[in-house]
Amino acid sequence: MSAGYASRLSSYPNKGIVGLPESFDSKRQRDLKLKKLSELVRDSKHLVVVTGAGISTSAGIPDFRGPEGIWTLEKKENNRKRKSRQSKPNPNPNRKRKHSHTTHDQHKLESSDKRHIKKSTFTKHPIDSDSTSMEFSKAQPTLTHKALTRLAIDGKLKYLITQNVDGLHRRAGLVRNMHCSLHGCAFTEKCESSDCRAEFFRDFDIGGMSFQPTGRRCTLCNEKLLDTLLDWEDALPEADFQRAEAECEKADLVICLGTSLRIEPVGSLPLRASKFVIVNLQVTPKDEHAALVIKASVDSVMEHLMSYLGFDDNWKDTAAPVERIWTAGQSEK
């Protein structure tokens, strides 16, 4: 089994703010906000959605910055280890130390620890580094994934931008031409040929990171296939990001679901729209710019929205076919 996504990322100590508390709107606040959201969606002509890890937690996939998120628990564990080192007694208390040398050596030690975060960092999480991959492949689309696919099929949703690598939008039947995974996808491999650019969506985590050969070949041109997962310093896929920018600039409404909007440049995309709404349990750096901020579970918000828009409950059980092969030329037609 391939290692979990989080453990495949290179060490990167500056992950930003994590572990902020979650809060919920009161019932009265929630009802008023849901009514407003429903009216905004009903009246929108070009709706775009941006999704983050918070829409997949109900599928059993951990988020990153929540109170029990992967980066949050990593930070807690690193702090615990640091305090443990600092609390160890000096075996030679009477020996005078040269503070400049000691400080330098200690700094090098701490820097080394930050550069080499062990997989065991994640073992305190209910889903550890190895089982993250297993959970990805076993996870099923949530109510939110299904609702978004239905909105796209019916023409209300014009485009979706996700930061998630779990492939659940694709598995819910959302066609590739209607969305992009700006940080890559654990189940998608792409042809290395710039003339072909075909993508293949699999049922298994293909492994790898940072566009490495997967060991398979393109069935359309026989060139090598590469993984699509971005590491911290990898550039976003240019064509996808350009379309994401263009769709947000055309949008009269962007809904941000389950994202802290702290990873740039994706976090600033909603600012390009006429207005945007945030549905997230934690505060985000974009809250003050939003037309509406809803603190409720994304599944409950989408369930209410679908009911308000007149959809019968059959959208919850109707499965759209999964698109397996996609070529970049399809988006140019």
Q: Which residues are annotated as a binding site for Zn(2+)?
A: 191, 196, 218, 221
Q: CA–CA separation, 203 vs 168, rounded Å?
A: 11
Catalytic residue among 107, 183, 289, 304: 183
Residue 128 neighbours by CB under 8 Å, 6+ apart = 4, 122
Amino acid at 16: G
Q: How far apart are CA 260 and CA 66, in angstroms?
A: 9
Strand partners, 161: 50, 180
Q: What are phi and psi of 134, to 5 degrees?
A: -60, -45
Amino acid 46 reads: H
CA distance to 77, 85, 107, per residue, from 96 (Å)? 32, 20, 19
Closest by Cα among 170, 192, 156 to 328: 192
Whether 179 is a known active-site residue: answer no
Q: Is the Cβ–Cβ distance between 143 and 291 less than 8 Å?
A: no
Q: How far is CA 143 from CA 55, 100, 299, in A?
A: 9, 58, 6
Place of tokens 């075996």: 91
Q: What are 97's two structure tokens?
A: 């130390």
Q: Give the C-alpha separation, 330 to 133, whole Å.
A: 30
What's the gap between Cα 55 and its chain centre?
9
Question: What are the backbone angles phi and psi of residue 63, rounded to the nearest 5°?
Answer: -85, -170
Q: How far is CA 57 from the centre of its chain?
A: 11
Dihedral angle, C-alpha 329, 172, 269, 14, nearest 10 °:
-110
What is the secondary structure of 125-147 as a DSSP string? Answer: SSS-HHHHHHHHHH----HHHHH
Residues assigned a catalytic role: 183
